[in-house]
Amino acid sequence: MSSVGTNIPHDSAVGHVSGGSVYIDDMAPLRGELIVDFVWSPVAHGRIRGIDFGDAASFGHLFTYRDLHHNLFGAIIQDEFLLAEDVVSFIGHPIVVIAAESRALIRKAKAAIKLDIEELEPVFTIDEAKRRRLFIGKTMTIKRGDVDAAFASARNIHEGTFINGGQDHFYLESQAALAVPGEFDQLTVHSSTQNPSEVQDVIAHLLGLPINKVTVVTKRMGGGFGGKECQATHPAAIAALVAHKLKRPARIAYSKDDDMCVTGGRHPFQNDYRVAFDDDGVITAAQIDFFSDGGAFADLSTSVLGRALTHADNAYYLPNALIRGTVCRTNLPPNTAFRGFGGPQGIATIENILEEIAVLLKLDPLEVRRRNCYGIDDRNITPYGQVVRNNHLPQLFDEIAERGEYSSRLAEVRQCNATSRTHLRGIACTAVKFGISFNTKFLNQANALVNVYLDGSVQVSTGATEMGQGVNTKIRQIVADEFGIDAERVLLMPTSTEKNNNTSATAASSGADLNGSAAADACRKIRARMAAVAAEYFERAGCGEASADDVVFENGEVFDRRKPDPRVAFAALVKMCHLERVSVGERGFYSTQGLDWDVDKGCGAPFLYFTQGVAISEVEIDRFTGMMRVRRCDLLMDIGKPINPGIDRGQITGAFIQGMGWLTNEELRRDAKGNVLSHSPTTYKIPNIQDVPPVFNVDWIDAENPLNIRSSKAVGEPPLVLAISVWMAVKNALSFLTNGEIPKLHAPATGEEILTRMTSYRHAQHGGDAREVAAPQL
C-alpha cells in the first residue's frame, strides 16, 4: 500500500501536544554560554552623535559595528546595516550588542548605555515616500495590448484606490539562535530560520569567514509564515558575532514584545487603479499602480512586489493591461516575506475592482466574476504571457455556487438587510489562481541526501525546514513510497548546511515540491542499484533470467513482477547490497523545468503551475457597534492529488483563518513617533477559536497535476487569499447602506473601521445632521 495519499500523523504531532518538541530556547544551556541582546534605536530616523557606555562593560561584553568584518548586507539589494553606524533608520535598529551571564546583567548594561541621537525627519507613509521620491529598486512593469485605445473606446470607466495594512507574523516561537564556536574559527549555529543557507552566507560575510567554517542547523521552527525567511539572519548573526569574538556559546531569543517592535511584517500596499468595462461588467482594460511600504531597507521587498504584479490578474482575463509597481522606503522596520508573498495584495486589488464594477452596474458580483474568469481554450493567457493550463476555475465557480447555496443565501441576506434594524449581513464569492514557483528562476532547485541503513531504516536530509506545515511528513511519505516501505521506517533529519548545501528558503509554497522531488531522485538512484542486486539474487534462486526493470519494491518486500515468488525483505536486500559493496546512500537533485521569466520585460512563464480555488463567505455586522462575525464559509479548491490529505486540510483551514486575521482583526497601530502600540497579544488581535466560522466547509475537486511530484499541488499560501471573500462580504454588507454608491472600506475591516463607515453613511443619508447619526433606534 502506498504511503502517499494517506493521512499519517504529522511527525512532530505527539511532541507538540506533549511538550516534547525541542526549539532553540529549549536546548539545554552549554558550558560557558552567554545570553545576548542589543540596544536599539529609540527614534525612527536620526544621526548618532555619540554613545556613552558608562559602566555597562562591568556587566557584560559590548560590541558595535566596528567589531564586524562587514556590516552591509541584503538578500537582493545590499543596503542594510546590521548594526547602525552613523544613522539609525527605524525604531528597533540595533546599535550595541550586549553579551552577559544573565538577563539581569543585560538589563543593567542597557540602563547604563546612553545614546545621543539627533532626530531627523522620518517618513512613515506611502504618500510621504512618494512625495519625497524615496523608493527601493526600480518601478516594475507588466504590459499587454493597447490600454490607451481601450480606455478611449470604453463604455464605462472606474477608478479608485485600494488600501490594505500590514500584518505581524505572530509566530509562537520568536526569533532565536544559538551559536557555538569550534576549532579553527568554525561556528555551528542553531537557528530558527526558513533559510539556513542564507543565514550561513550572511554570518560568513559579516564575520569575514569562508562559508565552509559556518554550519547552520534548523531542527524546527515554532512558526515562520515568511518572517524567518530573511529576518532570522539578524539574531543569528548577532549571536555568531559574540561566539566568534569570545569563543563562548551565545544564545539570543527575542521576547514577543521585542520581536513585534523590531521585525517587519506583511507589506502595506496602496494601489491606484483605473478600469474600463462593458455593460455586462467584462473588463476591457486595466491600469493598476502598486505602491508598497518596504520599510527602511530592501529585504525581500522587490521580489514581494514582483509577485504582487504577477497576481494582479488573479483568476480573470485582462485583454489590455498596464500593471506597474514601486517599493517605497520609509522609516519603519524592513517589511519582509509573509505567507502569500505579495500575491494577496495583488489579488485583493482585482477582487475589489470586480466587486465595485458589480455595484456600479447593479449586477450580481459572482456573475461579474464568472464573466471575467479565465477560459479553457481561449481568454487563457496572463498579462505576462503565460498560458493558464489545466484551468479548473470555471468548474470551481459553478460548483461552489451550488455547494454554497449562493442564490438562496443571497436572497436571505437581502431579506435580512431589508427587515433587521439591528444587524447587517453580506455575502461574497472570490477566487484564487496562485502561481507556484519562486519568481527568481535560480531558486527553483533543491538537493537531498538519503542514507539506507543495514536494518532497512532510512535517514533523509533535505534543505526543507519544518515550521509546523508538515513538509517533513510529506517527504517521509514520498521516500517510503519510493522504497515500498512503511513511513515509520523513514526519519527526516534536522536541516543542516553541512549535508545540504546552497539551498533555497522553504517558501513560495514549494518546500515539498522541490525537496520531495530531490529526495525521490536520490531514492530512485539507490533503488536502481538495489534492483540490480535483487535481479542477480532472483536468477541465482532459479527464477530464470531476471531484469532490474522487473524488480518491484512493495509493502516492505522486493520481488520480480513476473514471478512474485520468492520474495526478499527490504532490509535483507540492503544487507545483500552491503556485502556486494553496492552503495545504498545517495544525493538527489531537482530543478524545476519550463520556467522562463524576464523581470525587466515583465513577461514569460514564472510559474510551473497554478493552485486554484474559490470561497463563499457570509458575515453579520452589529449595526450599533460595528462588531462583525463570520457566519459561514465554503471553500473549494484544486490541489491536485494530496500527498497527505489531513495535512493539506490543516494548511487550507489555517491559511484561511490567518488571511481572515490580516483582513479583519490584525491592525498594526503606531504613535506619531513610529513606536508600535500593538506589540503584544493584549493589543494585537489574532483570530481565536471564536472567530472560526461555525459553518466551515472545506473540500477539493479530484484533479490531476502531472507537472508535479505525485500529481500534488502546493497548499501553503493559496488558501490564505480566499479569506478576501470575508473582507468582500463586509463590503457587500455596507453596499446596502450606500444607495447604490460604492462603499469605502480599508483593510483590515476592524470593528472600528466598519463602525466608522456605517456612521458616515448614516450621516450622509440624514443630510449631515449630527443629531441623526446615532445608532438606529428600535
Residues marked as catalytic? 717
Distance of alpha carbon 652 from alpha carbon 774, whole angstroms: 40
Phi, psi angles (nearest 5°) of residue 100 = -145, 170
Could you give the dihedral angle defined by the CA atoms of residues 299, 300, 301 and 303, in that order, rounded to the nearest 10 degrees? 150
Give the number of other Cβ atoms within 10 Å of residue 771's Cβ.
Answer: 6
Residue 375 CA: distances (Å) to CA of 315, 318, 353, 380, 393: 10, 12, 20, 5, 8
Q: Which of 240, 266, 262, 264 is nearest to 252 (CA)?
A: 240
Q: Are strands 114-119 and 46-52 parallel, antiparallel or unpaired?
A: antiparallel
Cell of 184: 579553527
Q: Which residue has the cell 540596544?
A: 39
Distance of alpha carbon 772 from alpha carbon 302, whole angstroms: 48
How many contiguous H segments (helices) and E segments (strands) does the chain have? 19, 31
Instruction: Please state the three-class secondary structure of 475-501 as a single string.
Output: HHHHHHHHHCCCHHHEEECCEECCCCC
Residue 373 CA: distances (Å) to CA of 350, 369, 405: 12, 6, 20
Q: Which of 426, 431, 427, 464 is nearest to 445 (CA)?
A: 464
| Mutual angle of helices 406-419 and 724-734, in 10-degree steps | 40
Give the number of other Cβ atoms within 10 Å of residue 107's Cβ.
Answer: 14
Distance of alpha carbon 693 from alpha carbon 631, whole angstroms: 6
Upstream peptide bond of 748 is cis (omega within 30 degrees of 0): yes
Could you give the dihedral angle defined by the CA atoms of residues 213, 219, 220 and 221, in that order, rounded to the nearest 10 degrees? -40
Cα separation of the two ends of the chain:
64
Q: Which residue has the cell 526558513?
A: 194
Give the H/E segment covering residue 245.
helix 233-246
The answer to whether residues 59 and 96 touch, using CB atoms and an 8 Å cutoff, is no
∠ CA 726-732-735, rounded to 5°:
150
CA-CA-CA-CA torsion sign (142, 144, 150, 156): negative
Give the H/E segment covering residue 534.
helix 511-540
> In sequence order, what DSSP letters do the residues of 289-327 get, joined into one string?
EEEEEEESS-TTHHHHHHHHHHTSSTTB--SSEEEEEEE
Cross-strand bridge partners of residue 253: 176
